[in-house]
Amino acid sequence: MKRQKTDSAAGEKQQPAVVAEASSSEAAALHARGKEHAEKLLSFINYAWTPFHAVEEASKRLVAAGFTPISEREPWSVKPGGRYFFTRNMSTIVAFAVGAKFQPGNGFYMVGAHTDSPCLKLKPVSASSRAGYNMVNVETYGGGLWYTWYDRDLGLAGRVLLREGPSAAASGAAGLKHRLVKIDRPLLRIPMLAIHLQRDIHTAGFKPNLQSNFAPMLATQVKTQLLAPAHGAAGAPAASKHQPLLLEMLASELGVSPEAIVDFELHVCDVQPGVLGGAHGEFVFAGRLDNLAMSYVALQSLIDSTPDAASLAEETGVRAIALFDHEEVGSESAQGAGGPVMRDTITRVAAALSEGQEGAVERTLRASFLVSADMAHALHPNYADKHDPEHQPRMHGGLVLKHNHNQRYATNAVSATLFREVARRHGIPTQEFSVRNDMPCGSTIGPILSSNLGCRTVDCGIAQLSMHSIREQCGADDVALAYDHFLHFFKEFSALDASLDFSALDASLDFSALDASLDVDSLPPPNIAGTIADTPCSHQH
């Protein structure tokens, strides 16, 4: 007996080591998966320098996965079991997969993100010369940390409108074409002023004038003049607004003559590719993580949740993603979340599948659920006081649910509980964020879409550092955890929403009095007759 007790005690002492070993094994597996997913994310980000390129890459992946491209200008033939996508302005993309068991009034289960990031964009007249240099006139887009753009190797990317061939030139606008371009070599630079010429920078701070001190340098005028015979774009129609040298480079990249260039929308971009970093390769260092990381995860999880028609056989709702442009400047545009893109989509699909039933569109909107996916603020080790002490999201901790009672985020208790439940069922961690009371709170597309659509919404995102810097940082594990969370959301949310097992949430809570689904508006009103005293009003009338 004594020996048995001793062996038992030894076993109990060893148990924590066994648990630690299992935990270590799980952590190692997550680390490997995180790096794998992060590498795929980097492949997407390193190509997608602009919203146009992000939408182009998303379109290619959707076509390869069997989704059918449709046009907003054409009638839609949408059927249960079908998978579709369309683009608007080539900078916003919506993709959806209709469940085979969809019934009129069933919901859309959506993940929304955005394709744009703070950057510099060329102005309509970009040609500029200063102090013997050919400069490029740019406009700041969004709320960037602009001082991080100094002394970086910069390239150009965007879209160009072309009029190609003699017949096209003669016919005018009928010959216009839209082409994407990307010059991914060091082309531009914004040089920092030497400290010797601004001795007070450490006391007064670095406060550049974004009109006077922020123009990228393209070339020296003397070299441009000496090499002018090599640049025959001076006679191009666009040469009155843009550097002929720039037009020549664009034409070379596109394989056209400079005279074919009619107009363009070009972004200045950092040419340094995103990479894995950190001692263990646990970090993602890249530009545009906000918000291409969430766009990529949304896209890939939708594709993987619907690999074929069979994957939609039991689905009763519509799985959808919407990747919007212009979030960084308020979303108020035809292709922004504040525009009609998502409502148009839901209206057309619900109406097409409703067989003329009354209120089908409105019922679908009320049954829908939106995940507003935008990057979140990780706790900064050098600025820990910038977070609320009880809300300090960490890297490798899973998606961060964002809360703000002043409606800067659209999360409420119902939407958060449903979204957490998806994760809980698969052992996926989540975190919570609420801003300090003495700091203003940012916002997302969540409140915009929830107010426009009237659907339940949760705001969430991967925790990151250096948000809106030219170079940002997040954890590799969180890319895998976000993918897992979204994948299960698409696969299971319709069934979860229809019959939530309340007993699984917390065995100590009694949900027996509630309906099987978490529709708070279906609960009968309480009987309060005779319980409220008629207190006289004390106001002077």
User: Binning pLDDT at 50, 70 and 90, where does residue 240 land?
Assistant: confident
For residue 284, which phi and psi values (nearest 5 degrees)? -110, 120
Q: How far is CA 122 from the centre of its chain?
A: 23
Q: By C-alpha distance, which of 322, 312, 369, 307 is closest to 86?
A: 322
User: Binning pLDDT at 50, 70 and 90, where does residue 19 land?
Assistant: very low
* 413 C-beta neighbours (distance < 10 Å), count: 9
Residue 189 DSSP class? B
- Res 152 pLDDT > 50: yes
Q: Peptide bond before 209: cis, by omega within 30 degrees of 0?
A: no
- Res 316 pLDDT > 90: yes
Write down the pLDDT at residue 112: 98
Summary mean pLDDT of the chain: 90
Q: How far is CA 382 from the centre of its chain?
A: 26
Write down the pLDDT at residue 509: 45
Write down the pLDDT at residue 197: 95
Are the C-beta atoms of residues 93 and 240 closer than 8 Å to each other?
A: no
Q: Which domains does the chain have, with CATH numbers?
A: 24-117+287-499 (3.40.630.10), 119-165+174-228+239-270 (2.30.250.10)
366/361 Cα distance (integer angstroms)? 9
- Res 484 pLDDT > 50: yes
Write down the pLDDT at residue 231: 55
Q: By C-alpha distance, which of 118, 83, 130, 116 is closest to 102?
A: 83
Whole-Å CA distances, 136 to 77, 124, 364: 47, 11, 49
User: Binning pLDDT at 50, 70 and 90, where does residue 13 land?
Assistant: very low
Q: Mean pLDDT throughout 11-30?
A: 64
User: Binning pLDDT at 50, 70 and 90, where does residue 12 land?
Assistant: very low
Whole-Å CA distances, 11 to 15, 23, 24, 222: 6, 18, 19, 81
- Res 412 pLDDT > 80: yes
Dump pLDDT digits (tens) for 168-189.
545 555 589 999 999 999 999 9
- Res 5 pLDDT > 70: no
For residue 123, which phi and psi values (nearest 5 degrees)? -75, 165
293/42 Cα distance (integer angstroms)? 9
Q: Mean pLDDT throughout 323-345?
A: 97
> pLDDT higher for 173 or 91?
91
Write down the pLDDT at residue 355: 85
Dump pLDDT digits (tens) for 424-478.
999 999 999 999 999 999 999 999 999 999 999 999 999 999 999 999 999 999 9
Dump pLDDT digits (tens) for 44-65.
999 999 999 999 999 999 999 9
- Res 104 pLDDT > 70: yes
Angle at 235 between CA 230 and CA 240, to 5 degrees: 115
